[in-house]
Structure 1
Amino acid sequence: MFVTELRFECFADTTISAAEKAINQLLEAYRANGQILGREFAVAFNDGEFRVRLLMPEKSSLAHKYHSPWVKKALAELTDAKLLAPREKFIGQDINSEVSNTDTPSWQLLYTSFVHMCSPLRSGDNLLPIPLYRLPATFNGDHKRIIRWQSEWQACDELQMAAATKAEFAALEELSSPDSDLFRRGWDLRGRIEYLTKIPTYYYLYRVGGQDLASEKARPCPRCGSHDWKLDEPLLDMFHFRCEPCRIVSNLSWDHQ
């Protein structure tokens, strides 16, 4: 991933509140389209211009060809706040994050965790994140629903990893049950992505707990009950199960690996 700085210059007198609203609207539009990553963006004002540093999946993430209708509208509305179109200053590659997948995958999956800021759509060939803006818009012109699902998944993951409150059990149910609201929304998004890209797309179902290793290896697909989903060798050294009809991948319980 890469770091860039956007600079917004004023071409006439404006107010901090008007500029703040216009810039934040643009940043939220970029985020909803997967063009920038993260949740919080520090916008600084100095010497008559506003500056913000952003993390992007690729050096070209802010190219016009990737803009959603919302991004285009937000760019046009900068003029109302007396701001020029942003100038980009490339900072460099982020050494603490993954590179993005650039090749068309043979299969892909929805996979995230509370420590990841990158796209939740991963290549099944190498587990590298696939920039969302490279996909056709999933709903209403961009990928807001995928970003929202990712935020919910990460919130549940952080709760269950902390293991400090009773909320841990409710969060774990959302992550690991095919009957949960989180699964239903994510699995539906998975289907939408597969329909748009024509690439087999799977949902990662988190697994922890269980009685022992033997029973874990023998457990059926929790959605259809099939025992044929156990793999001879784990995919990407992580996924020990894959159900083709249900489009689910899962792991041996982390408690028994």
Structure 2
Amino acid sequence: MIAYKVIFGTITKTNREDAEWLVEDYISVLLHNGQICGEYFLVVQKEKLCAYLNVQGRNAYAMKYHCKYGIERLHKIIEFFGRKPQWTLIDDDIPKQNITWENAPFLYLFTHMGDRRSSLCRGDNGESISIYLIPGEHEQREEIYFWQQEYKTYDQAWTYSGALEKVAYKQLATSDSELAKAGQKIGKYIEKVTGIPTYYYLVRYWGRRTNEYARLCPSCGQNWSTEVNSNEFHHFPFKCDQCRLVSHLAVSYEDERQAVIGEWGG
């Protein structure tokens, strides 16, 4: 993420509401297109409407990355303010180049409740790939955005251990949950447009004290152990090439009654 200040233009007390609506509409499109991420703030400084926000990569705000809806909103911004938005870098920590999917052995989808990065990662180093760099239309990138928000909601519900803890965990840990099916659909799309095998990550918290290493792929029932032993997140001990699923060993073995969640049912 790279922090920017964006100056849109001068406003008055009488047109501030209209100006803010146009700017928020524009920012919303950039957010859903994967160009910016996280929270943003609108402020008025010296009678100019400004936004403080984070972009997902170098020059992510460039016109070449705008979808048709972003271009449409940008033209409305220019018409209203009589000028193009002025983007000013306010972050010293910027990457030398954008991370892409090129030459990756595989890709995988993973996110969590506090994640502000893209949910698409490289399989060789775990680095996040910004969604706006993925070929295709805005609708597909927006679908990825909304899936990630839904995933984070379930992860939060599970983490906070409230009344929905078990319901949320099933969504995260089972390969045929609505959340997982939506994610696997996205994975198939990404694989189609990039040509890189794309896997869906399944959470595994509760496990078995014996034979956890031997558990089968929950989707096809075949052996999917990679025999990998590493502390690196992207070095998955379970990986099914047929079903495009990856997972880890369990975190807790204190309650084996919960271990059945996410296992092959036979």
Please list the CA deviations of residues 226-250 of structure 1 after superposition, one character each: whole Å capped at 9, or x if unmatched: 02x1012147723210000000000
Residues 1:182 and 2:179 are matched in the alignment: yes
Contact 2:122 2:129 in 1 (8 A): yes
Q: Which moved more, 1:6-15 or 1:85-94?
A: 6-15
- Aligned-pair distance for 1:154? 0.8
Partner Cα separation in structure 2 for residue 34 and residue 66 of structure 1: 10
Q: Which residue of 2 aligns with 1:145?
A: 143
5+ residue gaps, structure 2, are: 254-266
Q: How does 1:206-221 map to 2 (within 5 A)?
A: 206-212=203-209, 214-221=210-217
Contact 2:207 2:249 in 1 (8 A): no
- Aligned-pair distance for 1:196? 0.8
Partner Cα separation in structure 2 for residue 83 and residue 234 of structure 1: 59
Secondary structure of 1:7 counterpart: strand
5+ residue gaps, structure 1, are: none
Partner Cα separation in structure 1 for residue 109 and residue 230 of structure 2: 14
Q: Structure 2 length normalisation: TM-score?
A: 0.87
Q: Residues 83, 144 of structure 1: CA spacing in aligned structure 2 closer, same or farther, 3 A cutoff? A: farther
Partner Cα separation in structure 2 for residue 194 and residue 184 of structure 1: 15
Please list the CA deviations of residues 84-132 of structure 1 after superposition, one character each: whole Å capped at 9, or x if unmatched: 321011111459x9x9524622211101111210000001111010011
Please list the CA deviations of residues 131-183 of structure 1 after superposition, one character each: whole Å capped at 9, or x if unmatched: 1111112563x5111010001111111111111x1201111010001121100
* 2:163 partner letter: K
Q: Which residue of 1 aligns with 2:247?
A: 250
* 1:226 aligned residue (222, 225, 235): 222
Q: How does 1:1-257 map to 2 (within 5 A)?
A: 1-10=1-10, 15-38=15-38, 40-82=39-81, 84-93=83-92, 101-102=99-100, 104=102, 105-137=104-136, 140=139, 143-163=141-161, 165-212=162-209, 214-227=210-223, 229-234=224-229, 237-238=232-233, 239-256=236-253
- Aligned-pair distance for 1:77? 1.2
Partner Cα separation in structure 1 for residue 45 and residue 16 of structure 2: 12
Partner Cα separation in structure 1 for residue 186 and residue 98 of structure 2: 21
Q: Residues 138, 255 of structure 1: CA spacing in aligned structure 2 closer, same or farther, 3 A cutoff? A: farther
Secondary structure of 1:45 counterpart: strand
Partner Cα separation in structure 2 for residue 183 and residue 203 of structure 1: 8
- Aligned-pair distance for 1:12? 8.8
Partner Cα separation in structure 1 for residue 82 and residue 124 of structure 2: 43
Runs of at least 4 residues off by over 4 Å: 11-14
Secondary structure of 1:112 counterpart: coil
Contact 1:194 1:201 in 2 (8 A): yes
Partner Cα separation in structure 2 for residue 182 and residue 22 of structure 1: 32
* 1:78 partner letter: I
- Aligned-pair distance for 1:224? 0.5
- Aligned-pair distance for 1:11? 8.1
